[in-house]
Structure 1
Amino acid sequence: MRSTREATTQTICDCDDCLAYKLTVHIQRTATTQQAAKHHEEAAVEGWTDLEGRDYCPGCPPTVPVDGHDHEGLWAVVDDLPAA
């Protein structure tokens, strides 16, 4: 699901078991459609998929059955960081 507001655009993974999201903050005000298009382009580069108006994070490709999705994979990099 994607929502665009005056200063932000957010996409939430449409896979029911996934908590992944992508947030873009718009510092310079432009038209809402321009903001949404830029956000969608950036999401696609990062591996997000838009299939028939539904958005899926890189860990939940729509071509793979739900039991094959990697809901934890997006956070593995953060979890594996050494303690400061």
Structure 2
Amino acid sequence: MRSIRAASTQTICDCADCPSYALTAHLQRSADQAERHHQANARDGWTDVEGRDYCPGCPTDRPEDEHDHAGAWDEALA
């Protein structure tokens, strides 16, 4: 789920019960700030499937019981 406000852009993983989110704060909002936020998420391993966002720990090609939030984040941020 994406939330774009005057001072921030936030993406929350759309997988059920997933606590992962990405947040970018803005001191002064520009027209392309939200797009840059989503491009940075993609580089970090987030996926966008038909307008729904999933963190690196929630690969859309694997069942929910195989998701590994902590391990995937460790790999994505290494």
Aligned length: 75
Instruction: Find the structure with the greater CA-based Rg.
Output: 1
For 1:76 and 1:45, the matched residues in 2 are separated by 14
How many angstroms does 1:76 deviate by?
Answer: 6.1
Q: TM-score of the superposition, structure 1-length normalised?
A: 0.79
Match of 1:3, SS state, is: strand
How many angstroms does 1:35 deviate by?
Answer: 1.6
Where does the alignment leave 5 or more consecutive residues of structure 1 unmatched? 78-84
RMSD of aligned C-alpha atoms? 1.7
In the TM superposition, 1:48-67 aligns within 5 A as 48-67=46-65
User: Where does structure 1 differ by over 4 angstroms across 4 or more consecutive aligned residues?
Assistant: 74-77
Where does the alignment leave 5 or more consecutive residues of structure 2 unmatched? none
Partner of 2:71: 73
The answer on whether the counterparts of 1:11 and 1:22 sit within 8 Å (CA) in structure 2 is: yes
